[in-house]
C-alpha cells in the first residue's frame, strides 16, 4: 500500500494501543510519514476504544474520517459493527471472533445484536479469525493480539520480516518468541 | 544529531523541554497531560516530581525560575483552575530562568468534567500562549517558549489538546542545550507582590503584551500558505490538520502564537483572501478578536463550540457534504466501567445495598454513578465530595445526610480533599467520608503520590499515613477497613452514618491494575446450583455474563478472584478456586 487509513478497535484493556504502535512503527521504518491517534484515561476502563493509524507520503490529521478507512481491525465483533461505517466502499474488516457483553447488555438495558458477522459481510469484505483459540494453542491467551495483527499484516503489506523486526523491539522481551509465533500463526492463515 | 522517531505529542513535549535545558519540573497527573512528566522523568538531567496538586506544582516551577533555572509545570485544563492563583501573579513577577506551563485541554471530554478553553485564561492572565499542531511542533514550540519566556520576562503557556497529546507523529530529535543558570538577585519590586510593587508590575505586564503583539507577527511559529485566493482559513493546533485534510488547496494562516494574536499578520492575510473562515476548537477566542478589529470572518455561526472537530465536519459545513458512505448501525453503548477486581466496586456494592447516596469526586470511582451500582449522586471537581456533603449538612441538617457519605480517592484526598476535611472538623460537621484508598492515582494510569512511598523518579520516600493525618487534623472517628471485607465495611458504614460525630473510613485495597499485583484465585460458577436470580450481575463486574438459559459464566481470563460476586450469591453457586 502507498498510503493507508487503518483503525484498530476493541474493548479497553484488549491491547489495541500496542497493536497500533507496531503498525505505526512498521510503516515508519518503511519510510512513510505516520500519524497515530490513541485513547487514554477513563475511556480505557472497559469502554469502547478506537485507535487510528495513517501512513503515506504526507499525513495531515491523525484520525481516520468516516468513509475513509481501508482496514478496520477489531478485537471484538460488536466493536467491528460500531465502527464499520468508517470504511471505504471496498474497505476490509479483520475481526477477531469474540463477543464481550457491554454492561448495558449485562444489566438488560440493551441486547447484543445477533448474526453480526453475517450482517457485516453483506455490506463489507470481512476476514474472521479465532484469535483466542490460536493463542491458547500457543499456551498464552494474551498473545491473541499478535495473531490478529498477523492476519491484518497480510492486507496492510510490508514484508514479514519488517513486521517481525518491530514486534521484537515493541513487546516485552520475555514474550518475544511467543508473540512472533502468534504473529506467524495469524499471518499464515 | 537529528534522528527520526515516532512520538506521542506528550512525549515530544517532554523531549522539547529536555532539549531546552529544563532543570525542574513539577506536575499533578491529569488526562491528557500525564505522560509529559512520565517521559521527562526518564532524563537524569531533569528533576521531576509529582506534586499533590497543580497549585503546588506551579509554585515549585515559579521558585525554580526565580532561583535562575528553566522550569516546567504540567497540568490538564481544570488543573489550571487550581493553579490560577499563582498563575495570575506569576504574570506580574515574570521569570528569572525561563518558565513554561503546559496545559492540556480536553475538547470532546475524553476524560474530564468540563470543556473549558485555556486560551481564555491566558488572555485574562496576560500570559503568552503557543499552540502546536503535531508532535514535531510540540518539541520545537516548547523550546521557542523558553526563548520567549526569557526574552520578554514572562511565563509562557503551551496549550495542547487531547488529540495532540495522545496522537503520535514523526519527530526529529536534537541534543540537549545546556543552559547556564541565571544568578539570583534580591529584587522585591519584581518578586514581592505587595501592592506597592504590583502596581508597577501591572504596568510592565501591559507594556510587555503590547511589545509581544507587535513582535508576534515575526515569530517563526506562525505560517502563511497562500494558495486559492478565494478560500482561506485562520487556524491553529490540531484543527490546522483538519483544514489541510478537508481543503488542501485553500490558503491558510496557521497561528503558532494565540496570545497575543499577531495582528499585522492576520490583517495582511485577510487582505489576500476573499472568504476567510476561523477554525478553532471550543471558544471563539481568535474569531472574536479579529471581528473586534472590524474584519469580516466566518466562524462559530457555522462551527460548534463543543467537542473535537474533524475534516468531515469542516466539509459538511463548507461544502454541504462529507466522505461518509455507510450509515452507522445502531449498536448497544459500551461505556467505560470499573475493572474486574476493582476495590471501589466492593465499597459501592455495600453503599448500594444500604441505599446510601454518595457525594462523589474525580477518579475511576466516578463510574459508581451509573447502573448497576448507581451510588454517586454528585461530581464537581477534585476534592468537592467532602465539601459538598458538608454544605448539604449545613443547609438541611444532620438528618438530611444520615443516608449520605462522601467518597474520594487517596490521591484526590491529598490533592484538595484534606482542606475540605479540615473545614468539616473546624465547623463541627458530623458526616461520613470514605477514602477509597487504592494506593495509587488510578484513572490517569497509576501515578505515585505522597501516600504511596515512591517518587516520580521511582525512589523510595516517606509515605503519608492517611489515618494519622486524619486524626492529626482532629477527625474524632477514623477507621481503616479492607475494602473487600464487605461485612466489616457494612457494619462500619452503618455505625458511622448513624453516629453523631465526623467519621472517616479508609477503605483500603490496591487497584487491580497496579503493577506487581498477584491474583492466585479465580471465581467459578456452578450452573447446577445457580438459581438464576441475577444478584451477582448487580455488582456490574465485566467478567460476569448471563448465559441464554439465565445462568452465569465468569470469564476466567478477566476474573481477578476478588470474591465479591461470591459474597452476593446466597445459593453457594460461586466459589473461589486456585488458578
Condensed to tens digits (0 to 9), the pLDDT of residues B423-440 reads 999 999 999 999 999 999
Cβ–Cβ contact A104 with B under 8 A: yes
Is residue B556 predicted with pLDDT exceeding 50? Answer: yes
Check CB contact under 8 Å for A61 and B244. Answer: yes
- Count of A-B CB contacts under 8 Å: 188
Mean pLDDT (chain B) is 97
Residue written as cell 492476519?
A151
CA of A159 vs chain B CAs: smallest distance (Å) = 20
CA of A114 vs chain B CAs: smallest distance (Å) = 11
Which one, of B28, B109, B19, lies nearest residue B449 by Cα? Answer: B28
Which one, of B400, B397, B424, B402, lies nearest residue B413 by Cα? Answer: B424
Q: Which residues in chain A are contacts of B111 at CB distance < 8 A?
A: 40-43
CA distance B406 to B370: 16
Is residue A81 predicted with pLDDT exceeding 60? Answer: yes
Check CB contact under 8 Å for A42 and B336. Answer: yes
CA of B509 vs chain A CAs: smallest distance (Å) = 18
Q: Name the more confident of B311 and B556.
A: B311
Domain of A102 in residue numbering reads as 4-187
Q: Which residues in chain B are contacts of A46 at CB distance < 8 A?
A: 334, 336-339, 542
Q: Which residues in chain B are contacts of A102 at CB distance < 8 A?
A: 332-335
Under a CB-based contact definition with an 8 Å cutoff, are residues B45 and B177 in contact?
no
Residue B394 main-chain phi, psi, to 5 deg = -70, -30
Check CB contact under 8 Å for B544 and A106. Answer: yes
User: What is the domain count for chain A?
Assistant: 1
Condensed to tens digits (0 to 9), the pLDDT of residues A108-151 reads 899 999 999 999 999 999 999 999 999 999 998 889 999 999 99
Q: Which residues in chain B are contacts of A69 at CB distance < 8 A?
A: none
Least confident window among A20-24, B102-106, B466-470, B515-519: B515-519
Condensed to tens digits (0 to 9), the pLDDT of residues B35-74 reads 999 999 999 999 999 999 999 999 999 999 999 999 999 9
Residue A129 main-chain phi, psi, to 5 deg = -135, 145
Residue B466 pLDDT: 98
Cβ–Cβ contact B395 with A under 8 A: no
Q: Which of A100, A101, A103 sits opposite B335 (nearest CB)?
A: A103
Domains and CATH numbers, chain B: 3-216 (3.40.50.970), 223-324 (3.40.50.920), 343-508 (3.40.50.970), 521-578 (3.30.70.20)
Check CB contact under 8 Å for B334 and A33. Answer: no
CA distance B55 to B382: 13
Under a CB-based contact definition with an 8 Å cutoff, are residues B513 and B446 in contact?
yes
Query: What confidence category does residue A13 fall into, taking pLDDT thresholds of 50, 70 and 90?
Result: confident
Residue B337 pLDDT: 92
3-state secondary structure of B67: helix
Cβ–Cβ contact A114 with B under 8 A: no
Q: Which residues in chain A are contacts of B336 at CB distance < 8 A?
A: 12, 42-47
Q: Which of A39, A47, A100 sits opposite B335 (nearest CB)?
A: A47
CA distance B378 to B359: 5
Residue A43 pLDDT: 66
Fill in the DSSP letter of residue B35.
H
Cβ–Cβ contact B327 with A under 8 A: yes
Residue A41 pLDDT: 67
The number of residues in chain A equals 189
Q: Which residues in chain A are contacts of B367 at CB distance < 8 A?
A: 42, 45
Under a CB-based contact definition with an 8 Å cutoff, are residues B51 and B62 in contact?
no
Is residue B1 predicted with pLDDT exceeding 50? Answer: no
Under a CB-based contact definition with an 8 Å cutoff, are residues B129 and B257 in contact?
yes
**E strands, B430-546, in order:** 432-437, 477-482, 503-508, 521-525, 544-546
Q: What mean pLDDT do residues B136-150 have?
A: 98
Q: Which of B163, B323, B372 sits opposite A67 (nearest CB)?
A: B323
Give every CB contact of residue A47 below 8 A, 6+ residues apart in sequence. A11, A12, B334, B335, B336, B337
Cβ–Cβ contact B424 with A under 8 A: no
CA distance B167 to B245: 16
Condensed to tens digits (0 to 9), the pLDDT of residues B337-354 reads 999 999 999 999 999 999
Cell of B263: 495582528
Tell how far CA A119 is from the center of its chain: 20
Q: What is the pTM of this model?
A: 0.96
Cβ–Cβ contact B545 with A under 8 A: yes
The CATH number of residue A89's host domain is: 3.40.920.10
b/e map A80-119, b = 16+ CB within 10 Å: bbbbbbbbbeebbbbbbebebbbbbbbbeebebeeebeee
Query: What confidence category does residue A42 fall into, taking pLDDT thresholds of 50, 70 and 90?
Result: low
Give every CB contact of residue B170 below 8 A, 6+ residues apart in sequence. A28, A33, A34, B4, B5, B6, B7, B135, B136
Condensed to tens digits (0 to 9), the pLDDT of residues B17-42 reads 999 999 999 999 999 999 999 999 99
Check CB contact under 8 Å for B332 and A60. Answer: no
CA distance B518 to B515: 9
Structure ipTM: 0.93
Neighbours of B271 (CB within 10 A): 8
Residue B144 main-chain phi, psi, to 5 deg = -65, -35
3-state secondary structure of B503: strand
Check CB contact under 8 Å for A42 and B110. Answer: yes
Which one, of A86, A105, A94, lies nearest residue A16 by Cα? Answer: A94
Amino acid at each position: 500500500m502507498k498510503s493507508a487509513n487503518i483503525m484498530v478497535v476493541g474493548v479497553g484493556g484488549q491491547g489495541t494501543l500496542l497493536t497500533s504502535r507496531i503498525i505505526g512503527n512498521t510503516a515508519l521504518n518503511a519510510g512513510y510519514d505516520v500519524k497515530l491517534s490513541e485513547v487514554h484515561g477513563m475511556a480505557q476502563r472497559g469502554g469502547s476504544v478506537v485507535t487510528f493509524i495513517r501512513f503515506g507520503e504526507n499525513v495531515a490529521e491523525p484520525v481516520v474520517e468516516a468513509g475513509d478507512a481501508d482496514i478496520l481491525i477489531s478485537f471484538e465483533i460488536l466493536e467491528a459493527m460500531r465502527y464499520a461505517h468508517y470504511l471505504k466502499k471496498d474497505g476490509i474488516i479483520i475481526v477477531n471472533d469474540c463477543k464481550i457483553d457491554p454492561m448495558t447488555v449485562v444489566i438488560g438495558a440493551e441486547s447484543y445484536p445477533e448474526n453480526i458477522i453475517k450482517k457485516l459481510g453483506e455490506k463489507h469484505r470481512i476476514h474472521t479469525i479465532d484469535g483466542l483459540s490460536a493463542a491458547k494453542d500457543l499456551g498464552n491467551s494474551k498473545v491473541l493480539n499478535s495473531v490478529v495483527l498477523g492476519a491484518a499484516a497480510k492486507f496492510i503489506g510490508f514484508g514479514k520480516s519488517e513486521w517481525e523486526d518491530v514486534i521484537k523491539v515493541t513487546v516485552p522481551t520475555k514474550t518475544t518468541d511467543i508473540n512472533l509465533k502468534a504473529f506467524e500463526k495469524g499471518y499464515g492463515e | 544529531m537529528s534522528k527520526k522517531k515516532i512520538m506521542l505529542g506528550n512525549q515530544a513535549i517532554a523531549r522539547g523541554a529536555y532539549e531546552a535545558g529544563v532543570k525542574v519540573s513539577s506536575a499533578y497527573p491529569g488526562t491528557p497531560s500525564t505522560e509529559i512528566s512520565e517521559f521527562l522523568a526518564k532524563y537524569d538531567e531533569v528533576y521531576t516530581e509529582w506534586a499533590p496538586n497543580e497549585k503546588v506544582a506551579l509554585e515549585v516551577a515559579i521558585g525554580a525560575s526565580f532561583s535562575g533555572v528553566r522550569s516546567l509545570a504540567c497540568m490538564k485544563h481544570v488543573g489550571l483552575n487550581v493553579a490560577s492563583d499563582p498563575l495570575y501573579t506569576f504574570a506580574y513577577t515574570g521569570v528569572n530562568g525561563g518558565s513554561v506551563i503546559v496545559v492540556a485541554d480536553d475538547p470532546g471530554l475524553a476524560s474530564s468534567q468540563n470543556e473549558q478553553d485555556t486560551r481564555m485564561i491566558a488572555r485574562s492572565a496576560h500570559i503568552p500562549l503557543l499552540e502546536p499542531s503535531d508532535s514535531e511542533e510540540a518539541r520545537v514550540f516548547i523550546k521557542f517558549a523558553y526563548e520567549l519566556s526569557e526574552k520578554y520576562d514572562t511565563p509562557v503557556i503551551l496549550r495542547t489538546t487531547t488529540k495532540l497529546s495522545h496522537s503520535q507523529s514523526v519527530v526529529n530529535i536534537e541534543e540537549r542545550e545546556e543552559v547556564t543558570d541565571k544568578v539570583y538577585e534580591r529584587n522585591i519590586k519584581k518578586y514581592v507582590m505587595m501592592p506597592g510593587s504590583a502596581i508597577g508590575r501591572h504596568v510592565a505586564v501591559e507594556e510587555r503584551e503590547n511589545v509581544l503583539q507587535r513582535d508576534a507577527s515575526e515569530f517563526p511559529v506562525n505560517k502563511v500558505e497562500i494558495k486559492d485566493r478565494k478560500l482561506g482559513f485562520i487556524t491553529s493546533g490540531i484543527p490546522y490538520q483538519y483544514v489541510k485534510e478537508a481543503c488542501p488547496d485553500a490558503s491558510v494562516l496557521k497561528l503558532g502564537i494565540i496570545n497575543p494574536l499577531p495582528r499585522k499578520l492576520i490583517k495582511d492575510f485577510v487582505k489576500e483572501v476573499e472568504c476567510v473562515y476561523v477554525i478553532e476548537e471550543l471558544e471563539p477566542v481568535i474569531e472574536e478578536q479579529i471581528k473586534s478589529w472590524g474584519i469580516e470572518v466566518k466562524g462559530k455561526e457555522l462551527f460548534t463550540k463543543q467537542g473535537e472537530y474533524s475534516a468531515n465536519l469542516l466539509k459538511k459545513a463548507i461544502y454541504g457534504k462529507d466522505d461518509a458512505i455507510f450509515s452507522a448501525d445502531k449498536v448497544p453503548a459500551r461505556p467505560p466501567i470499573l475493572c474486574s477486581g476493582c476495590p471501589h466496586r466492593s465499597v459501592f456494592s455495600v453503599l448500594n445495598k444500604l441505599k446510601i447516596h454518595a457525594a462523589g469526586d474525580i477518579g475511576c470511582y466516578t463510574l459508581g454513578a451509573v447502573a448497576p451500582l448507581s451510588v454517586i449522586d454528585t461530581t464537581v471537581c477534585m476534592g468537592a465530595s467532602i465539601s459538598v456533603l458538608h454544605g448539604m449538612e449545613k443547609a438541611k441538617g444532620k438528618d438530611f445526610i444520615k443516608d449520605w457519605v462522601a467518597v474520594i480517592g487517596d490521591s484526590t484526598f491529598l490533592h484538595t480533599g484534606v482542606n475540605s476535611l479540615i473545614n468539616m472538623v473546624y465547623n463541627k460537621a458530623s458526616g461520613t467520608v470514605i477514602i477509597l484508598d487504592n494506593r495509587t492515582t488510578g484513572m490517569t494510569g497509576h501515578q505515585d503520590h505522597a501516600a504511596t512511598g515512591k517518587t516520580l523518579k521511582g525512589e523510595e520516600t516517606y509515605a503519608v499515613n492517611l489515618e494519622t493525618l486524619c486524626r492529626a487534623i482532629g477527625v474524632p472517628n477514623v477507621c481503616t477497613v479492607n475494602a473487600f471485607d464487605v461485612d466489616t465495611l457494612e457494619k462500619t458504614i452503618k455505625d458511622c452514618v448513624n453516629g453523631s460525630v465526623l467519621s472517616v473510613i479508609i477503605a483500603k485495597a490496591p487497584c487491580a491494575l497496579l503493577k506487581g499485583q498477584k491474583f492466585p484465585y479465580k471465581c467459578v460458577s456452578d450452573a447446577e446450583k445457580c438459581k438464576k436470580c441475577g444478584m451477582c450481575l448487580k455488582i456490574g463486574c465485566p467478567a460476569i455474563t448471563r448465559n441464554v438459559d439465565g445462568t452465569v459464566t465468569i470469564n476466567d481470563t478477566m476474573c481477578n478472584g476478588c470474591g465479591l460476586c461470591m459474597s452476593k450469591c446466597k445459593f453457594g453457586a460461586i466459589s473461589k478456586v486456585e488458578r
